Amino acid sequence: MEGFQVKGGEKLKGQVRLQGAKNAVLPILAAALLPEEGETVIRDCPEIRDADAMTGILGKLGCVCSRRGAELRLNNRGLRHWEMPDELSKQIRSSIFLLGPILGRMRRATVTYPGGCEIGLRPIDLHLKGLRALGVRILEEGGVIHCEGGGMRSGPVYFDYPSVGATENVMMAAALLPGLTTIHNAAREPEIEDLQGFINAMGGCVRGAGTQVIEVEGVKKLRGVSYAPIPDRIVGGTLLCAAAVTGGEIILANACPRHMIPVSEKLKEMGCRILQETDRLILKAPDRLKAFSQLQTQPHPGFPTDMQAQMLAASCLAEGTSVIVENVFENRLSHVADLCRMGADIRVSGRTAVVRGVKALTGARVTARDLRGGAALVIAALAAQGESVVGHIALVDRGYAHLEDALNALGACVRRVKTDTIDPSE
Ligand code: UD1
């Protein structure tokens, strides 16, 4: 297994360019199954493990995928399978998005119950409810979901909760369905707007993304296009937290500051100075951060759950007491135990963490338990005194493309190592 060996205490300084967004590119790759003709080119496709797993699934379905650096080419002419491969689907939760486009194209689909990070139950009832509302018949047996779409029709879909994935699934299932599908209480995340942009670039007709009501007018055909996903606001936020907690000063290039408002406003509350330009964001941290009174994760435009762990790590060294409430996922505080091993003072009760800022953290051997929690441990290690090893970094590679390179370019000292062979005296 691989880990990051981190020498703490370096202030992050310099400029870094953000990668394309994981949470945008995964549904976009799923939607790339929709066009019958033409090649789709995804520019700025991040080199992350989840994107590889997704292209692996697309390949098994008959779509030809080839990557050259950040450019991914997809051709669907050979698409003929509607059953998603078991092993790969279990690896990423995003495999559930494929139900919508496969049903849209082939009117049937089979998927194994999806995998992903261990951050809670993560049911898929809303996805299935949305597809049923479009006339899909669904049979669940032994962890396998069979969907039969012979009777699919457009119409209204109402979500009890604005689920990101379920909204995207229905948008894709409806893109080729004759008539008007209206999604009520839709998720409003920027990645939903990006999926709308991609479907429309292929010749589709979707409007309203970014609001609670999305309308999809089915078109007869879509064609392949060249498209680049939005910059990754979560990677951006992670780097900002790393700079903030080390007292650094960084510039994020290829950023969309509008998408990062919930995070940049919290960092301002902690005493950081932030300057927003059209596609750049500049952060200058104080010598010591201040605690924030409360942070509650919520669907967009509330504070993103995907930034909770990193912000919690930053608050460990802030002066005063910060309170964090995780409302979106029920089991997303597993990084707390390892942060405490590094000297943090955190009390957890249910979904609430109370963080009393300490003056210093100490390097330790810790282990990533999920994607964002792993990133949080890296942030703490960057600020800690001495050396840390963050194990099971494969989980971090799911969403961060070569995180060590970005951090080292900013002056950090991070090395990818084999965790079983590491020499602690090095
Ligand atoms: C997406 C993001 C993920 C982010 C999350 C919330 C991708 C690949 N993943 O995940 O990084 O953390 O949005 O912004 O884009 N729920 C149900 N039933 C369902 C679906 C969801 O109860 O059928 C619940 C979940 O358990 C969770 C909440 O709804 O409590 C939010 O989930 P959802 O918005 O669907 O997140 P994901 O699409 O899984």
Give ligand 1 pocket residues (Cβ under 6 A): 23, 26, 93-94, 120-127, 161, 163-166, 187, 191, 304-306, 328-329
Phi-psi map region of 359: left, alpha, beta (phi>0 left; psi -120 to 50 alpha) = alpha
Q: What is the arithmetic mean of pLDDT over 382-404?
A: 97
User: How far away, in angstroms, is 329 Cα from ligand 1 center?
Assistant: 8
Residue 426: pLDDT band with limits 50, 70, 90: very low
Q: Measured between alpha carbons, how far is 40 from 380 in angstroms, rounded to an integer?
A: 40
Q: Measured between alpha carbons, how far is 47 from 378 in angstroms, rounded to an integer?
A: 19
Q: How far is CA 144 from the centre of its chain?
A: 25
Q: What is the arithmetic mean of pLDDT over 386-412?
A: 97
User: How far away, in angstroms, is 109 Cα from ligand 1 center?
Assistant: 21
Token digits of residue 231: 């910059």
Predicted confidence (pLDDT) per residue in 66-87, tens digit: 999 999 999 988 888 888 877 7
Please tell me the residue having the least CA distance from ligand 1 atom 25. Answer: 122
Residue 424: pLDDT band with limits 50, 70, 90: very low
Give the CA distances from residue 253 to residues 177, 272, 311, in Å, rounded to whole numbers and listed in that order: 39, 18, 21
Please tell me the residue having the least CA distance from ligand 1 atom 21. Answer: 163
Q: What is the arithmetic mean of pLDDT over 248-252?
A: 98
Cβ atoms of 44 and 70 within 8 Å: the answer is yes
Q: What is the arithmetic mean of pLDDT over 34-42?
A: 94
Cβ atoms of 79 and 61 within 8 Å: the answer is yes
The best mutation among 25, 94, 164 to test binding of ligand 1, ranked by most ligand atoms within 8 Å of the C-beta, falls on: 164
> 324 forms bridges with which residues in the sheet?
295, 353
Sheet containing 226-227: give its strands across.
64-68, 71-75, 39-42, 226-227
Q: Is residue 311 pLDDT above 80, yes or no?
A: yes
Residue 109: pLDDT band with limits 50, 70, 90: very high
Helices 22-31, 49-61: axis angle to 10 degrees equals 10
Q: What is the arithmetic mean of pLDDT over 396-400?
A: 97
In whole numbers, what is the pLDDT of the chain averaged over residues?
94
Predicted pLDDT of residue 87: 76
Please tell me the residue having the least CA distance from ligand 1 atom 9. Answer: 23
Other Cβ atoms less than 10 A from the Cβ of 81: the count is: 15
241 in catalytic set: no
Least confident stretch, 178-187, 326-335, 414-423: 414-423
Residue 96: pLDDT band with limits 50, 70, 90: confident
Q: What is the arithmetic mean of pLDDT over 327-331?
A: 92
Catalytic residue among 117, 147, 256, 316: 117
| 304: DSSP letter | -
Better-predicted residue by pLDDT, 124 or 327: 327
Closest ligand 1 atom to the C-alpha of 124? 23
User: How far away, in angstroms, is 164 Cα from ligand 1 center?
Assistant: 6
Provide DSSP, 190-237: HHHHHHHHHHHHTT-EEE-BTBSEEEEE--S--B--EE-PPB-HHHHH
